Structure 1
Amino acid sequence: MAIKVHGNPISNATMRVVACLIEKDLDFEFVFVDLVTGEHKKHPFLSLNPFGQVPAFEDGDLKLFESRAITQYITHVYASNGNQLILQDPKKMAIMSLWMEVEGQRFEPPTLKLVWELCIKPMTGMNTDDAIVKESEEQLSKVLDIYETRLAESKYLGGDSFTLVELHHLPNIYFLMSTKVKALFDSRPHVSAWCADILARPAWVKGLEKLQK
């Protein structure tokens, strides 16, 4: 099998790549990387990602890391496969790219901290830092206010159809739906409906099932 994803089921970035491959109806091999033993910080994994983070990706002799770069590669190279996750019209693509940047620069920082404090730390027996949670909730609220306005005028952040914009959001939203932060999403009707829509994507559900086996 040409495509390999080296990652861990608990990694939001790994989830992002797996969901993209399933959306594109592509076969791939999942290679488990043991984060507990620090496998990602040692060779031979470091030859795939010198920063020692999952996932790493192989497609034949091509090796990539950084989940958003991987998903963009997949959607461009395998454009004719599965569901279309990018937009062809240059102006629409520009809007989509804008919201992809918003996800990475505005949404990811506070939600990643919240996932760490409210999901990962309790799972590993560490204490949650309430000050970080409070600060991150305040930052996220400001982002979601802007999302609510955008989603009142557009079905999806990136346009009229599900694209990489939504796919990139999915892992952190999924984790936070099991925490008190869910209330921040639920209190905004358009954001709440958007979350329910994208979390129900068959490819996302199938990806979770594959990673949990």
Structure 2
Amino acid sequence: MAIKVHGSRISTCVGRVIACLEEKGVEYEVVPVDYVTSEHKQQPFLSLNPFGQVPAFEDGDLTLFESRAITRYVSRKYKDIGTDLLRLNNLAESAIVDAWMEAEAHQFNGPMKVLIYQFFIRPFHHLALEEQEVETNSEKLGKVLEIYEERLSKYKYLAGDYFTLADLHHIPFIFYLFKTPKAYLITSRPHVNAWWNDISSRPSSIKISEGFDKENSFLKGNQ
């Protein structure tokens, strides 16, 4: 049975899983979820993800939710093919990947999620931008990216001189950030910008970017 990713390509979390599968060269099917009818909040979808969020993931009899858990699973199952995303054959390198994945989840994700909500979700629902929220979280994100700038002045990628999940997990949100006036948070930092130009040009990144632009009504409503 082919791997199934339930959700929409407009979702950053779905994009994260798709990018991982593309890096591994694994066949998969994206099963659309109808947000308008709240399909993700009803059965049978809730049997796949009890929190009513995307993605839900099926690999034979195995079902998973939470995009970062899914990418770890895919990277472990297919560790001998495609890009080595977890550095599983080297304990020290693997630990560094883990550390920077945690940084993405706990330092980068929070302010970035607020900015994307402000610039895309609120306008989609005809709600005004909350300027203070934007500025507060831009400042928070800037402080995180200053740490990234220092790290990337020494290494090509966050976990070292090799592309891993630590980099991949950032890609979907940054694509959205570049559709906002806050893109300078990336472009104003030369090492972060070079890192972004590198990781965003990978075939897996281009694949999810095309999905965003093709299906994303949030972007169309924000122009």
TM exceeds 0.5? yes
1:136–1:210: structure 2 CA closer, same or farther, 3 Å change rule?
closer
Asked if residue 72 in structure 1 is aligned to residue 69 in structure 2, the reply is no
| 1:35 Cα deviation from its structure 2 partner | 1.5
Query: What amino acid does structure 1 have at the position aligned with 2:28?
Result: F
Structure-2 residue corresponding to 1:53 = 53
* Contact 1:148/1:190 (<8 A) preserved: yes
Structure-2 residue corresponding to 1:116 = 117
Query: What amino acid does structure 1 have at the position aligned with 2:112?
Result: T
State the TM-score, normalized to the length of structure 1: 0.96
| 1:10 Cα deviation from its structure 2 partner | 1.6
* Contact 1:24/1:75 (<8 A) preserved: yes
Q: Which digits, 9 at most, give the CA deviation of each residue in 1:112-159, with x for residues without a partner?
A: 110111123224432211111111001001101100000001110111
* Contact 1:151/1:157 (<8 A) preserved: yes
Q: Distance in 1 between matches of 2:118 and 2:27?
A: 34
Q: Distance in 2 between matches of 1:205 and 1:168?
A: 14
User: Gapped runs of 5+ residues in structure 2?
Assistant: 216-223
Q: Distance in 1 between matches of 2:20 and 2:175?
A: 15
Structure-1 residue corresponding to 2:176 = 175
* Contact 2:175/2:209 (<8 A) preserved: no
**Map of 1:31-42 to 2, 5 A cutoff?**
31-42=31-42
Structure-2 residue corresponding to 1:102 = 103
Structure-2 residue corresponding to 1:205 = 206
| 1:181 Cα deviation from its structure 2 partner | 1.1
| 1:79 Cα deviation from its structure 2 partner | 1.1
Q: Distance in 2 between matches of 1:125 and 1:32?
A: 25
Structure-2 residue corresponding to 1:153 = 154
Query: What amino acid does structure 2 have at the position aligned with 1:128?
Result: L
Aligned length: 213
| 1:73 Cα deviation from its structure 2 partner | 0.1
Q: Distance in 1 between matches of 2:3 and 2:45?
A: 16
Identical amino acids, percent of aligned pairs: 50
The Cα RMSD (Å) is: 1.3
* Contact 1:22/1:207 (<8 A) preserved: no
Structure-1 residue corresponding to 2:187 = 186
SS in structure 1 opposite 2:170?
helix
- The farther-off stretch of 109-118 and 83-92 is 83-92
| 1:207 Cα deviation from its structure 2 partner | 3.2
Query: What amino acid does structure 2 have at the position aligned with 1:186?
Result: T
Q: Distance in 1 between matches of 2:55 and 2:194?
A: 30
User: Gapped runs of 5+ residues in structure 1?
Assistant: none
| 1:26 Cα deviation from its structure 2 partner | 0.7
Q: Distance in 1 between matches of 2:139 and 2:64?
A: 34
Structure-2 residue corresponding to 1:84 = 84
| 1:187 Cα deviation from its structure 2 partner | 1.0
* Contact 2:7/2:14 (<8 A) preserved: yes
| 1:111 Cα deviation from its structure 2 partner | 0.2
| 1:210 Cα deviation from its structure 2 partner | 5.1
State the TM-score, normalized to the length of structure 2: 0.92
| 1:161 Cα deviation from its structure 2 partner | 0.6
| 1:36 Cα deviation from its structure 2 partner | 2.2
Q: Distance in 2 between matches of 1:173 and 1:191?
A: 11
